[in-house]
Chain A
Amino acid sequence: MPPAFVELLQFLLSGVTSGAIYALVALGFALIYNASHVINFAQGEFVMLGGMVTWVLLSQGIDLPLAVLGAVGLTMLVGLLLEKLAIEPVRNANVVTLIIITIGAAIFLRGLTSVTLGKDLHALPAFSGNEPLDLMGATIMPQSLWILGTTALIVLLLHVFFNYTLLGKAILATSHNRLAARLMGINVNFVLLLSFGLSALLGAIAGILIAPITATHFEVGIMLGLKGFAAAILGGLGSGLGAIVGGLLLGIIESLGAGYISSDYKDAMAFVVILGVLFLMPSGLFGKRGTERV
């Protein structure tokens, strides 16, 4: 293989790996946005909690599968409580108020984590060791395969849920027409609760999968949340397909930018993407065109 090709392949592999994580976070944004038009700025904290709680449970001598289950369960509980205690009571407030509440919740969750679990950086062990695998001259870590495989499985499960189950369709229906959904007897508060639970689930899984690569820390949610948000905007807020494509694209843009320009700019790419999308195509790649319905 020509070295230039191997180099490009290497960048692409690392791009889709982080891109898959961004896609999971972006899907979390999309779920809640569709159910409520709220951009949940606590999405990144779900990611952080997933990694941090897994680390705590591991450090208590609990096996990895159980620790993962525990962390996912606890993060989902946090998501459900956030909806029940902070969002639902003020459900009829305007969207900006609700968004500010999620920002407050994010700050609270970060603070609570730093107080209870400390401010240190923790690395999780890779799920299947650190022996790099060879792919046409480039290398890929087993953890990347975990990330890509798990993300693919989740995307498949979400696809089945939203296209082949009545509950999934009820969630879609609620996002398209809340009034009609209520008139059909759909409990839209439950839909909102469910979307927070699902978003927390996706966030936690993303945080657990990435922690062996980037390590975890009480503040990792800020950057990962922001990148997931950038991915969601790039794909078009509220579009599931957009979240996935946006995530992968952002990961690749970052990795190519870091590889061919300078790694100093890696984290700046997300901001450039957000600004670029807002200026050039506000509805993103797969978003609804035209004005927002009221």
Chain B
Amino acid sequence: MELTNYLNAMRDASGVPFYPVVFQFFLVLTFALHIMFVNFLLGGVVVSIWARIKATPNSLRLSKALARGSTINASLAMVLGVAPLLFVQVIYDPFWYTANSMSAYWAMAFLLILAVAFTASYVFYLSGSDKAPGASGWAVLALVALLAAAAVIHALSVEQLLPQMWKTWLISGQEVNASGKGLYAFEWHRFLHFIAPSIAMAGVYLMLYAWFFNGRKDYDRAYLQETATLGANLALYATAAQIAIGLWWLFSVPMEFAFYKNPFFLVGAGMGAAFFLFLMTARANPIKNAPVAALIAFLSIFLMSYAREALRMTYTGKVGYNIFDYKLSLDWGSTVLFLGTFVMGIVVMAYPILVAVQVAKNGKESNNEGLAKLATALPVVWFLVVAGLGIVISLKNGTLF
């Protein structure tokens, strides 16, 4: 059985319930959102350690704010990570399942390591006083664990890109290794290319923080200015480093891929460069420029995520795999269910977020009566519609009684 046959034979017999390009789009979009919060989390922990150790009143205050933010970023990063995890299994299942099965203990360890990281970041936040977070050792533990988790998931991803190596890794002589203990691939440049942006994104995060609380009486101006300037500098220098690492990675991609000519890559890289140039000028007034910086940063991440996907398509295309010829078993019903729920979710979410922003900025909420009513009613309506559908179908199929 040769590799291409294996890959295509392992594709799920059920096919995919909608056009692969749609799954691919959601895969990239949700991955970009996920990695952005991972960056906020990782970078935030780094800065909070530094600020905790520096131990001036302002830096302790910042450290505390970041520690609290880390717990929220952790939750968001995790829940946002679920979606790309789901979609990758839809269109790249032969790669995903093979790599995970080969390194099964690592896939399990990944979660255990994350549990350590999250616990440590909670302890760091909760064990402190009003003015400072807990001992920096906790944050260091969280950082080490987060990096370890990143390394594992990185290795699992690279294993997927090298299917021609799989047999070499698993088979030696007459033995097939079924221990699940091996971790087989690691690429420093690629790994660093995911880690370095954390510092840049922590910079953006600090700028946003200063922008957000700017004008509130309990936040003094000098503190916010100092924070935003720190943020802009971090973002600028880390982005410069990121560009260098990106070039290093680019040259390590097999030349035959001609990836430097790939339009997805060019657009993504262009956006990254634009971010760098913008930061050069934005440094003069980092508080005011924060929202635009955040927007450009997210666009760079999103486009780079598309470039990452284009690279995956190139790698998998080399071994005769193409997501666009996946067997299609169109299912409109469930597709509409998701898309409708997705849009509804955005509307519902807008309400609590709006309230939170109003409270944080002005100390009190404004009048949101219309949105409030809509947001509280929609989940109930959702349930009534789905339950109604369920009852009709159950009666039709005779499964209710």
Q: Are both chains from one complex?
A: no
User: Hey, which bits of chain A sit against chain B, CB under 8 A?
Assistant: none
